[in-house]
Amino acid sequence: MLVLMLFAVVVGAGTAVSPCVLPVLPAMLSASGAGGARRPLGIVIGLTTTFAITIIGIAKVVDGVGLGSDPLRDVAIVVLLVFGIALIVPQLGQLVERPLAALSRLGPRTRGDGFASGLLVGGALGFVYTPCAGPILAAVISVSAASGSAVLVGLAYAFGTGLMLLALALGGRRILDRLRRAGRGLMVQRSLGVVMIATALAIATMLDVKLDELIAEHIPNVNITAAIDNSGAVASRLNSIHPHKSLVKSHGSATASSAADLPVGPVAPPFVGTEDWFNTAGGRPLTLAGLRGHVVLVDFWTYTCINCIRTLPYLEAWYRKYRSDGLVVIGVESPEFPFERDAGNLKAAIAQFGIHYPIVQDNNLDTFNEWGNEGWPSDFLIDARGRVRYADPYEGYYPQTEAATRALLVAAGAKGLGADARPTHVITPSLEASPETYLGTARAAGWASGPFSGTHTYAGPTGVIALSEFAYGGTWTIASQQALAGSNATITANVQGKHVYIVLSPPAHGVGHVGVLINGQVPTAADAGSDVHGGYITVTGQRLYNIVSEPRDEDETITLSFSPGTSGYSFTFG
């Protein structure tokens, strides 16, 4: 634990001099350069306090404080604007400082002024600074904030970053003090005010996000803490504070003939942070402790994931065949996209896919993280004593999963299980399909140009595009996950596979439409996916839509034309 804390201090200090601090640095130095001698200390204490509280636990409450348009960024914008104007207009600055004077009692008893306002400015900057983190921060957020290890690591990280920021603030102030002694005090103060206002406007217009994306895209190895983040020593100690991480590592590739063939894992973690339950009596929640004596199959899924959708016929078949023998199937719906948190959307998906086993919403991914998941779908089998005996973090190992299920049922006393289940409406994926990609900036891959954050007009493809390549055309407003169609919005893609899917959302008010061309032609009934009718997809809900469905693998150029206000999220193939 001591080694991990030392690494956290060093990585925290390194974070404070990494490129991701650039959006925060001008405002911090400007605020530190004005006011009394205690202001830099107040700013750093305020920033690191906000930072520490956020990374230890508050991030889950406010659904994250990443570089997006959230209320915490709005707080930072307002505070920076107010204090920037106060620096330009000294009389206003006195009015702002006066009601904050009482807070100065919390600070050191040295001479000077500005400690209280420094706390406020630093606290606001902490909300923008929080995303400057790597695997150590991700581990702190993913484990329980109640864990002593998580709290200590988070505090060590914040302490390291605070020390480095204080050194930067004091160094910048010494330079500015020399300018003041040269008789340029008022000019310096007003210049600092302009910098703070400019920083607020940059945050409001998402320029800080674009700067981070530019650095990540063009200087990918610039992170000076990456070597420490990725070191084996750190990785091993991070795993030690996430005790269930190993659950997903024991892939069930071998077929079990009896329960003795299955490893005995730890007692299964509980369901935590969940919301609504479906397909239970009165919507009442289930607990793993209350299911002792049963064999439980827990399936982590989300309803727009084609890999998850392909597992559903098998889960439903196993539930129908073996529930009388003691099997309980529970689907934990852990959303990938924000709209998947909507209970109404999930209820419609349950009806669409014909799911009869219990489903629970895991909107904040609390249970998903507690079980150490890294993707969708992930299946776990729990024996009658509550222990994890089998884990499959992929799709496709259906015979092995059913064999393990039958073995655990027999060990629990079931007799006469009969033949294996026979799922219907199974979708067999292609073995040579194009890789999945996303329309937003966060995980986009294979795009000929962009995508770029914000609103841009794209020229479309120039000439023939390569296999598994995509190109925007027309006007799009693109965020980290969502791509919102504007005028003349198109996507052209050269893809391979039997089936092509896209996650779509209709306009805020009304119905969206997406025109579909395959190799420049309106698709025939033999080529069109189940959601294409007359060459169009009618987008009425937020879900996965089937564009193409072929009897065999095909290499095709698909052109999609979006009505304004329609949104896309991801492409998947199979």
pLDDT digits (tens, 9 = 90+) for 195-238: 768 777 876 776 655 555 454 444 444 444 444 444 444 444 44
Is residue 416 assigned to a domain? no
Same domain, 29 and 114: yes
Tokens 């027999």, located at residue: 410
Q: Tell me, what CATH number does 463's domain have? A: 2.60.120.260
pLDDT at residue number 256: 74
Q: For the chain, how many residues are written?
A: 574
DSSP 50-78: HHHHIIIIIHHHTT---SSS-HHHHHHHH
Residues facing residue 329 across a β-bridge: 297
Q: At what angle do helices 25-33 and 71-88 cross, to 10 degrees?
A: 40
pLDDT at residue number 239: 46
* Nearest-10 Cα torsion for 540, 542, 544, 545: 20
Same domain, 345 and 446: no
User: Lowest-pLDDT range, 35-49, 475-489, 555-569?
Assistant: 35-49
d(CA 293, CA 450): 53
d(CA 262, CA 259): 5
**Does residue 444 or residue 65 have the better pLDDT?**
444
Amino acid letter for position 403: A
Q: What is the CA radius of gyration of the chain?
A: 27
Backbone angle region of 539, left / alpha / beta, with phi > 0 → left and psi within -120 to 50 → alpha? beta
Is residue 130 assigned to a domain? yes
Encoded tokens for 150: 């998580």
**Does residue 335 or residue 5 have the better pLDDT?**
335
Tell me the pLDDT tens digit for each residue of 154-188.
677 778 777 887 887 787 777 766 766 666 656 66
Q: How confident is the model at residue 542 (pLDDT cuts 50, 70, 90)?
A: very high
Ordered strands of the 327-333 beta sheet: 277-278, 359-361, 327-333, 295-301, 378-382, 388-392
Q: Are 279 and 357 in contact (CB under 8 A)?
A: yes
Is residue 418 assigned to a domain? no
Q: How confident is the model at residue 15 (pLDDT cuts 50, 70, 90)?
A: low
State mean pLDDT over 110-127.
Answer: 66
**Does residue 268 or residue 110 have the better pLDDT?**
268
State mean pLDDT over 358-386.
Answer: 93
d(CA 238, CA 554): 44
Is residue 417 assigned to a domain? no
Share of the chain above pLDDT 70, in %: 68
Give start and end residues of each alpha helix (H) in 63-147: 71-88, 90-97, 115-129, 135-142
pLDDT at residue number 414: 93
Tokens 């650095």, located at residue: 215
Given 194, 229, 264, the domain boundary residue is 229
State mean pLDDT over 348-372.
Answer: 94
- Strands 295-301 and 327-333, how do they pair? parallel
Same domain, 76 and 219: yes
Same domain, 164 and 213: yes
Same domain, 21 and 71: yes
Question: Which segments of 222-346 are extended strands (E)?
Answer: 277-278, 295-301, 327-333
Residue 181 gets which letter from DSSP?
A: I
Same domain, 213 and 249: no
d(CA 322, CA 485): 46
Q: How confident is the model at residue 352 (pLDDT cuts 50, 70, 90)?
A: very high
Is residue 235 assigned to a domain? no
**Does residue 165 or residue 279 have the better pLDDT?**
279
- From 157, 111, 123, select the one nearest 138 (Cα to Cα): 157
Same domain, 124 and 217: yes
Q: Are 542 and 504 in contact (CB under 8 A)?
A: yes
Range of the domain at 383: 244-411
**566, pLDDT greater than 80:** yes
Same domain, 34 and 159: yes
Is residue 421 assigned to a domain? no
Encoded tokens for 127: 């909300």
Give the 3-state secondary structure of 30-44.
Answer: HHHHCCCCCHHHHHH
Residue 9 gets which letter from DSSP?
A: H
Same domain, 248 and 380: yes
User: Average model confidence (pLDDT) for the chain?
Assistant: 78
Tell me the pLDDT tens digit for each residue of 289-346.
999 999 999 999 999 998 899 999 999 999 999 999 999 999 999 999 999 999 999 9
State mean pLDDT over 524-530.
Answer: 91
Same domain, 248 and 225: no
Is residue 422 assigned to a domain? no
pLDDT at residue number 331: 97
Tell me the pLDDT tens digit for each residue of 33-85.
666 777 788 888 887 887 677 655 544 443 333 333 345 556 667 766 776 67
**139, pLDDT greater than 60:** no
Same domain, 498 and 389: no
Buried b (16+ CB within 10 A) or exposed e, 71-106: ebbebbbebbbbbbbbbbeeeebeebbeebeeebee
Same domain, 276 and 202: no
**517, pLDDT greater than 70:** yes
The number of distinct structural domains making up the chain is 3
State mean pLDDT over 504-515.
Answer: 94
Is residue 239 assigned to a domain? no
Q: Are 122 and 44 in contact (CB under 8 A)?
A: yes
**462, pLDDT greater than 70:** yes
